[in-house]
Amino acid sequence: MALNMKRFLKYTILAAGAVMVLASCDDFFDRQPSNTIIASTYFSNEGELKMYCNGLVQSGMPGFTSVAIGNDAYTDLCATKSGSDFYHPGLWNASKGSGWSSGNFSFIRKCNFMLDNMTKAKGKVDDEVYNHYEGVARFWRAYAHYGKLQTFSNIPWIDHVLQKDDSILYAKRDDREYVFHKILEDMDFASENCLGTSDYLTPGRTYVNKWVCLAMKARMCLYEASYRKYHSVNPATNEVWNNKYETSDDLYKDCADACEKIISGGVFSLHNTGNPETDYSALFKSEDIPVDEVIWSRQANTEASVTHDITWCYRSATYGQKYSPTKELVDMYLNLDGKPVSTDRVDVSDEFTGRDWRMSQTISGPGYTYTPLSGKDTLKGPDFSCTLTGYEFNKWCIDKAVNYSQSLSDNSVPVLRYGEVLLNYAEAEAELGKMTETIWNLTIGALRARAGVKSVYPESAGYQRDPILYSYYNGDGSGQNGVVLSDMILEIRRERAVELCMEDGLRQLDLKRWKLGNFIARRYDNQGWRGIYLTADQVKNGFTINGYKYTLGSATTSTSYAVANTGSDATWSLSEGTYGYLIYNYKLEWDDKMYTSPVPVSALNLNPNLGQNYGWTTE
């Protein structure tokens, strides 16, 4: 396996370097598409098609830290020491925008370069092989456009290598619905033509294959379906959807269909060895990923010196953003009997008792250990120089002290996995009004069973509504944006929160597609992120977690925290003044224009026809 990985890395590096990424816009379009690949002769056999596609993997797949932290760092479920500038009051405008330079479009150019030139391989490789590699290139082209659509909504659809006089360079942006229609055409071709046999299922799950395409198609369709359901207008224009191509229901059906094909294919299943205390964690802390569940991954390999800094980001007071779980995340976890917690005003050492086993495999609790430099495993308590809420993530962490300040983590990172497929299927079917107890048991029930949690169907007599969850999304019963969510939808959203926590930015994308972006700023009474609960006695005399004594002090140390109670940014307060929830104060703002990013002024200066997104001014 190590030899194969080294060979894979060698090929991907060679292929990734084959096409230059050019800095200057004029230079970019003046140059020939490639310096080292001669378009007239390359792509003439399967080996060259494969090598170029390996380069697309190297260039296009999200990085380790992007998947394991990414945009989920800036949501309601994760506190950060300074938050994102995008959400700071009055701080962001179009002059600070990015994402529209030539470099931001160079990857699409790489995909189109292959699609424009690979016809030379026709007749030299089997049609099935040719269609597979065309599908891979079209997958990547769709994937690249999809990311831009999520950021800007209306974008240009680019399906060929642009030259400097191409009309697209001076045209208006294409409508979002048209662009997604073209994305879906590419994804349909890819999922129908990419091969899914064992030859294309690498040990590290790195290749793009039929199953990767279907899983990504399901993710894309669910996002766009719910976006159009919960948003009445295209945020780029503030105009109602035209439904010229696909409706919201059409896309929910496309999502469900893709999921059904993966489920019926029988290639993947939940990683479940019957050990709920460890099975979930094994997905995120293993160099050799559990290939029964992982569909696509970023592979680490110590022998090939492919390691990363995820643990360092989570465990450093200065290197990362002090990423910390919030009480809102903790409240999402059910008890093992399938019932919600009755109160969250409990000692942090007690609230893990009898809870969903994913909780202790995501958030450090009683009994959690690490390996200090001395090499002898010992209990680990939260470090207040690193945590803002009194809770610490452990989901992605290789908790060895040697990893706390170096890029030595060797755990591979799943990008797509079967657990998400089940969640996507459940949500699509529920939104279409087609959820049944059979589908529930296949999806949400199976995920809870893997975590040791009793599954209770929301429409059964034994179901107990969770007042914390209900009020979180539905307020006093009037709902959010005028929509009152059913218990079924609420339970599916709960499951996404706990199962997909800190994975590939999915929580932030969920909030945006459900039109709940305000949750990012709202948090606890608009003050900040909410953490552990402390009684007046604990505030006065200290409290103990895993044998470590924590006290209120004048300065922050690993076992001491300072409550200012001023409400000013980057300070702690207590919700009841002298006791209560520990609040890390940070003011953020939300405006519905923030469902898109502004088109950068630099891009508008080059092409005024792009137009600015609704609500943003050209500054």
Summarize pLDDT for 444-473 with one digit per residue, the tens: 999 999 999 999 999 999 999 999 999 999
**For residues 85-98, average pLDDT:** 88
d(CA 446, CA 259) in angstroms, rounded, equals: 15
Using pLDDT thresholds of 50, 70 and 90, give the confidence band for residue 97. confident
With beta carbons less than 8 A apart as the criterion, state whether 508 and 367 touch. no
With beta carbons less than 8 A apart as the criterion, state whether 296 and 215 touch. yes
pLDDT value for 482? 87
With beta carbons less than 8 A apart as the criterion, state whether 428 and 256 touch. yes
Is 542 a residue whose pLDDT tops 70?
yes
Identify residue 610 by its one-letter amino acid code.
Answer: L
Is 14 a residue whose pLDDT tops 70?
no
**For residues 557-575, average pLDDT:** 96
3-state secondary structure of 34: coil
Q: What is the DSSP letter of 323?
A: -
Q: Average per-residue pLDDT in the chain?
A: 92
Q: Angle at which helices 248-265 and 210-230 pack, to 10 degrees? A: 150
The model's pTM: 0.93
pLDDT value for 505? 96
d(CA 569, CA 81) in angstroms, rounded, equals: 9
With beta carbons less than 8 A apart as the criterion, state whether 434 and 255 touch. no
d(CA 186, CA 401) in angstroms, rounded, equals: 45
Task: Report which of 431, 435, 433, 331 is spatially closest to residue 391, judged by C-alpha positions.
Answer: 331
Residue pointed to by tokens 């950068």: 600
3-state secondary structure of 298: strand
Nearest-5° Cα angle at 473, 576 to 533: 25
d(CA 209, CA 199) in angstroms, rounded, equals: 10
DSSP per-residue codes, 572-619: EEETTSSSEEEEEE------GGGGSPPPPHHHHHH-GGG-PPTT----
3-state secondary structure of 78: strand
Q: Could you tell me the two tokens for 39?
A: 């378009």
For residue 171, give every residue at least 6 positions away whose Cβ sits within 8 Å of its Cβ, in sequence order, or none.
156, 607, 609
Q: Could you tell me the two tokens for 126?
A: 């089997």
Is 239 a residue whose pLDDT tops 90?
yes
pLDDT value for 84? 85
**For residues 577-598, average pLDDT:** 96
**For residues 23-31, average pLDDT:** 39
**For residues 11-35, average pLDDT:** 38
* Burial class, 330, CB count within 10 angstroms (exposed 0-12 / middle 13-18 / buried 19+): buried
With beta carbons less than 8 A apart as the criterion, state whether 308 and 407 touch. yes
Task: Report which of 545, 528, 586 is spatially closest to residue 391, judged by C-alpha positions.
Answer: 545
With beta carbons less than 8 A apart as the criterion, state whether 610 and 603 touch. yes
- Max intra-chain CA distance, the chain: 79
pLDDT value for 618? 78
Cα 164 to the center of its chain, rounded Å: 35
pLDDT digits (tens, 9 = 90+) for 379-402: 999 999 999 999 999 999 999 999
Q: Could you tell me the two tokens for 424?
A: 């996507």
Task: Report which of 505, 508, 530, 523 is spatially closest to residue 589, judged by C-alpha positions.
Answer: 523
d(CA 156, CA 105) in angstroms, rounded, equals: 11
With beta carbons less than 8 A apart as the criterion, state whether 62 and 71 touch. no
Q: Angle at which helices 248-265 and 176-193 pack, to 10 degrees? A: 20
Residue pointed to by tokens 């059913």: 486
10 Å Cβ neighbour count for 114? 27
pLDDT value for 96? 86
10 Å Cβ neighbour count for 286? 17
d(CA 262, CA 212) in angstroms, rounded, equals: 10
**For residues 212-240, average pLDDT:** 98
Identify residue 394 by its one-letter amino acid code.
Answer: N
d(CA 487, CA 510) in angstroms, rounded, equals: 18
The β-bridge partners of 306 are 301
pLDDT digits (tens, 9 = 90+) for 288-300: 999 999 999 999 9
Q: What is the 3-state secondary structure (H, E, C) of 482-537?
A: CECCCHHHHHHHHHHHHHCCCCCCHHHHHHHHCCCCHHHHHCECCCEEEEEEECHH
Phi first, then psi, for residue 379 (nearest 5°) are -60, 145
DSSP per-residue codes, 232-281: SEETTTTEE---SS--HHHHHHHHHHHHHHHHHH-S------S-TTTHHH
Phi first, then psi, for residue 286 (nearest 5°) are -115, 140
pLDDT value for 2? 38
**For residues 425-437, average pLDDT:** 98
Is 184 a residue whose pLDDT tops 60?
yes
Q: What is the DSSP letter of 69?
A: T
Task: Report which of 502, 546, 183 is spatially closest to residue 352, judged by C-alpha positions.
Answer: 546
Q: Could you tell me the two tokens for 552?
A: 């209120």
Point out the least confidently predicted range of 96-100, 315-319, 517-521, 588-592: 96-100
Using pLDDT thresholds of 50, 70 and 90, give the confidence band for residue 86. very high
Task: Report which of 531, 286, 502 is spatially closest to residue 390, judged by C-alpha positions.
Answer: 531
Cα dist. 557→318, 373, 377, 492, 571 in Å?
A: 13, 20, 22, 39, 14
Is 27 a residue whose pLDDT tops 80?
no
